[in-house]
Structure 1
Amino acid sequence: MTPREGRPLVDSPMSGVLDAESRELLEVFARDGVRPYDQMSVLQARAVVAGATRLQGPREHVEQVSDVLIDLGPGRMSARLYHPDPAGVLPLVVYLHGGGFVAGSVAVADRPCRALAIAAGCAVLSVEYRLAPENPFPVPIFDCLTAIRWVVDHASQHGLDASRVVVMGDSAGGALAASCALALRDAGDSPLIGQVLLYPTLSLDQWTWSVPDRRGN
């Protein structure tokens, strides 16, 4: 289905008609020559995802933004902490960005995390987990679990309420968030009170053979 067609996807459980903004975005992609991800190299996909920041809108002001380093054993991982009220003790969202497990970054997620911190009145920790294919499964899950445990252990140092921690992710980040929630539950020591999954990559049941051919989906 082309961006201008309005037919519903009758053979998909995700059936629906694209709204005007989605059609406009697809037209921008077509004009810019953006190819489907499965036709890109990893580096090309990362460049496209990084370039999407121009579509994110204004960069909201957050009172305190700090980059932190988290010990991974061999090496360290960076993360960015957004705290809209440094004088207070706030609940925390641990945010895991999307990007198909191979792309995305804290920098790409910067504006959404700022908007989340302001709108929800909470602190946000955005995690720079390691990406595939250089770091295959289960490395990203290990990184995200380590980040959750680290921030809970250091909550008092950063004005965070360790009893109110939620993990959140979009797309591939949603899959990582769900994996972390399950792993922590199974370990019997989960510090999480909830998970927020935005269009998470959880099941192949969302797709039919014809869906990849319908560019408007």
Structure 2
Amino acid sequence: MTPEQLREIYGDPSPRAAVKVIRKFDRHCRQFIEHSTFLVLASSDGTNLDVSPKGDPAGFVAVETDTTLLLPDRPGNNRIDGLMNILMHPKVALLFMIPTVGETLRVNGSAEICADQALCDRFQVNGRSPKTVLRITAEEIFTHCGKAPMRAGLWKPETWPDARPVPSLNEMIRDHGKVAVESTEQSAVEDRYRQTLY
């Protein structure tokens, strides 16, 4: 399929969609980021793609300047796929979310990894500093409509399943990796989360 064929199927973007991209964080963007508790970070090594969830209390991402953000990297599984990608190919994309708000905020730009201790200490939680902080320079910033979250019922508890519909993380790791796990109970996973959150 060609770009022309695809455009023929979908038509032109609406006038509003065509002009909504901005280059600096205005008051609306700043307010959105200030209240966001969750985002998804997309990165690439230039060939393969990766997405990583990031979450913390509201305000965990700091707007450093009109064009830069600071994103602390909290403890995880130490695969550091996204960080390795950024070393090779600094282009990233972020999707910010606020619980109960259908719309999202998208930021496309480039990232650098900062390990400066004073900078990391600015994002300390419970006496623990992140090992690194991403400085993200925005190139495109725009809001995204709330249709997908609405269709998903993302913020509507009445549409949520009554019980966990998938096995525990440990059970999936056991089956995927063919490794022994201490317990397949989800409660064991939750205990580990609490112990290693920060």
Global fold match (TM > 0.5): no
Structure with the greater relative contact order (CA < 8 A, sep ≥ 6): 1 or 2? Answer: 1
Q: TM tier, shorter chain?
A: under 0.3
| TM-score of the two chains, using structure 2 as the length reference | 0.24
